[in-house]
Amino acid sequence: MKKRHIGMIAAWLLIFIMTGAVIVLADENNPTVSAGEILDHDFIVEGYSVTNDGTIRGDLLSFSQRLTVRGYVEGDIIAFAPDIFIGGEVGGSLRLAGSSIIVASRVARNVMLIGSGLVLDKGSVVLKNAYLMGDTVKSLGTVEGTITIYGTDVTLGGVYNGDVTVHMLGERASLNILQDTVINGKLTYIGANAFTPPSYARVKDYEYIKVSPSESSSRMDVMAVVKRLATLTVYYLFALLLFRLFPRFFVRSGDFIAKSPLATAGVGMATLGTFVGGLLILLILILLVMTILDKSILGFTGLVFLFFGLMTILFADLPVSLWLGGKIAGKTDSVPARLAAGLVTIQAAKLILKLLGGLPSVGPVFSALGFMVNAAVWLLGTGAIVKTLFSMLKAANRQADAEAEDFSLSD
């Protein structure tokens, strides 16, 4: 992963911590579940080095410099770290982002990896589907479902009982298929240069889809699309982490849009007006500070508006994605599926409008549509977040009043 992407994720994490979100943090800098130790709950941590050699009965969610898992995790592993090693056994899915990722584990569900160097090592088993996106990608284990790979230097080995799709990124990209590789499904190779599977590889069916370098460069550089997909994937992982921490908040915010989208957008417009008015007040405070008031007042007010701005800019897409994903995937699907469907739809619409905005004749029209889409997402998302916050505050006040009344009656 590019350094600027890692820097962006670090900035998101810093913002996340500064906003006061509640995370179960380890007391030391190197949170560890020792061999023989059993946790009957989720393990949500941050630190320099996170290690699991024991058993975690819930999910493992981690932001760290290094993540090492050699024990058992019953649920999902959702993590960002530059250096990741996953061994042992995982009862749920893997969703990882980092620089160097090695998976040598049995995974009961899906695997999603994004990074510079990715390895599904020999002996690894994925019982459902795998999605790998990186610069150097090595898949050497067993995948029972389908596998989709985006990369510039891809090596295939092992056994694949479903379809294999390889998207080669760039004209100099290369695919290497090792001996004893077995593909019981269809191998689809998508790239600028033709490729023929070696005779020693056991491939049931093969298709080559040629991508014209001139066509791709005239629309958008391939790596620019990959960077956008990488950013979207990491944002999705971060959104899943937030959902794990605050499930009711984001689900409720999506439900507010579903029940009354116009009213929610109205709240967003009112919030925008309040925010603009607040900025004018902040400007007045700056002038007053220069003459009369204490600087601490200006600092506090500035932090409040900074917090509000970051909240709306970073998280406005999430309620809209849950609402839109519910329309696409159906409410019977899981929240992660709805979130993914919504995020992909929104980002695809923005990307298409951006590309069409570059056309000489009709570009201004699509640029205006792109602005309207961005504005609509911000208004709906901000309105849903504000409505959810007020709803939770009202519920908390009612609970406090009820407890106070019970206390007075008991006296």
Q: Tell me: do 93 and 32 sit in the same domain.
A: yes
Q: Tell me: do 219 and 253 sit in the same domain.
A: no
Q: Tell me: do 185 and 60 sit in the same domain.
A: yes
> What is the maximum alpha-carbon separation in the chain?
86
> What is the reported pLDDT for 303?
59
Residue 408 domain-assigned? Answer: no
Q: Tell me: do 197 and 324 sit in the same domain.
A: no
The pLDDT tens digits for 78-89 are: 888 889 999 999
Question: Could you tell me how many helices (H) and strands (E) the chain has, helices first?
Answer: 9, 23
The pLDDT tens digits for 4-25 are: 444 444 443 433 333 333 333 3
Q: Tell me: do 195 and 302 sit in the same domain.
A: no
Q: Tell me: do 169 and 206 sit in the same domain.
A: yes
The pLDDT tens digits for 292-346 are: 555 555 555 555 555 555 566 667 777 777 777 777 766 555 677 777 777 777 7
Residue 403 domain-assigned? Answer: no
pLDDT at 186 over 90: yes
Q: Tell me: do 133 and 259 sit in the same domain.
A: no
Q: How far apart are CA 377 and CA 316, in angstroms?
A: 7
Q: How far apart are CA 240 and CA 311, in angstroms?
A: 16
Side chain identity, residue 248: R
Tell me the helix, strand and coil percentages in the chain, rounded to 5.
Answer: 45, 25, 25
Residue 236 domain-assigned? Answer: no
Query: 0.75 cut: is pTM over it?
Result: no
Place of tokens 């459902």: 128
Q: How far apart are CA 97 and CA 112, in angstroms?
A: 8
Q: Which of 174, 194, 225 is the last residue of a domain?
A: 225
Residue 234 domain-assigned? Answer: no
Q: Which of 225, 258, 293 is the last residue of a domain?
A: 225
Asked if residue 269 lies in contact with residue 384, where contact means CB atoms within 8 angstroms, the answer is no
Residue 291 domain-assigned? Answer: yes
Residue 404 domain-assigned? Answer: no
Asked if residue 176 lies in contact with residue 195, where contact means CB atoms within 8 angstroms, the answer is no
Structure tokens, 335: 């929240």
pLDDT at 217 over 50: no
- Quote the domain boundaries for residue 373: 246-398
The pLDDT tens digits for 130-147 are: 999 888 999 999 999 999
Q: Tell me: do 49 and 84 sit in the same domain.
A: yes
Total number of domains constituting the chain: 2
Q: Tell me: do 210 and 84 sit in the same domain.
A: yes
Q: How far apart are CA 390 and CA 166, in angstroms?
A: 47
Residue 240 domain-assigned? Answer: no
Q: Tell me: do 203 and 55 sit in the same domain.
A: yes
Q: Tell me: do 282 and 213 sit in the same domain.
A: no
Q: Which of 193, 225, 257 is the last residue of a domain?
A: 225
Q: Tell me: do 214 and 290 sit in the same domain.
A: no
Residue 67 domain-assigned? Answer: yes
